[in-house]
Amino acid sequence: MSNTDLANAAPQMALILAAGLGSRLRPQIKTPKPLTKVLGLTLAERVVCTLLDADIRRFLVTLGHEAETVRAHFPDIARRRGVTIDFVGAEDWERGNGASALAAKGRTGEAPFFLVMVDHLFDPTIALALGGALAQLASIIDGCDGEIARLKHSQSEFGGWFDAVLDRHADAILLFGLMWHEFAATGTNLSVVLGFAAIVGSFLNSYTADKYDGLMAQRLHGASYFRLGRDVRVFVIFLGALLNLPLVTLGVVALVMNVEVVRRIIVCASVEPEQHPFRPQHPLTRVKLP
């Protein structure tokens, strides 16, 4: 195989550096770092599962600190995940990851391979869950800024309007990110369709809110009324991300937001003319000219 062919070849194996001491974890845990569990899986198994998604089925693991304990954990992973795992001892593992990687010289062949550390997590599921949690936290903080402005007597019409504009940008980014995550992972065109419908429904939900709220205020004179808004939307996104159901989440947001828009249109269309939210505040008086 020529050098050009080797450079263009897809990696078929991965080198996992699992020789380190894990000094930053030592005060909290007593087990070797590769055996530390995150969401029910050890770091060792989690990195294998992540690389399995990239169709990697051959692994070479460097061993150092508590080598025999760590080695004993991998055969069970290999059996359950249907992969091949070999080992190489890194005598100079205390000198760092470079020395551990160098210990595998001559064992990886000439073809490209993945080089990963056992404690570097890049699981898309975890990233999605963290993203959903951050979105929910941002929504809670966003709900406080108006109250803080009122308490400080610094609120303004421009501030309220500008906050709404930023919210629409944030909604679009959240839903587009959810759509892109699903499309990149599965390639399904349904994610694009549902993502588009969710973004449109969210924007129309916000667009119709002013007239709908004005009508409800006239009808109910300050009493509470049913309203689906941004808080519900962000909470649904948070739950969907936490459960790793991006496609279902897009579908729920698209359906609920667009149904709510239709409901508001029906409510506003059914009111008496003098209560109608689109009625001019100061109608012009018709004067018959002589």
What secondary structure does DSSP assign to 90-139, as a single string? -TTGGG-HHHHHHTTTTTS-SS--EEEETT----HHHHHHHHHHHHHHHH
Alpha carbons 259 and 242: distance in angstroms, whole number: 25
C-alpha to C-alpha distance for 179 and 196, rounded to whole angstroms: 8
SS3 62: strand
**Which pLDDT does position 272 carry in this prediction?**
55
What pTM value is reported for the model? 0.58
Q: 124-275 in CATH: which number? A: 1.20.120.1760
Q: How much is the average pLDDT of 9-36?
A: 81
Count of positions (residues) in the chain: 290
Q: Six-digit token pair at 188? A: 């399904």
In this predicted structure, the answer to whether residue 102 has a pLDDT above a threshold of 60 is yes
Domain ranges of the chain: 3-117, 124-275
Query: HEC states along 182-217?
Result: HHHHHCCHHHHHHHHHHHHHHHHHHHCHHHHHHHHH
Task: Using alpha carbons, select from 242, 233, 190 the residue that is nearest to residue 209.
Answer: 233
Find the mean pLDDT for residues 182-200.
91
CA angle 247, 136, 188 (to 5 degrees): 15
The hierarchical CATH code for the domain 3-117 is 3.90.550.10
Residues 6+ apart with CB under 8 A from 272: none
Tokens 């909290």, located at residue: 28
Mean pLDDT of 179-183: 89
**Residue 54 clears pLDDT 60, i.e. is over it:** yes
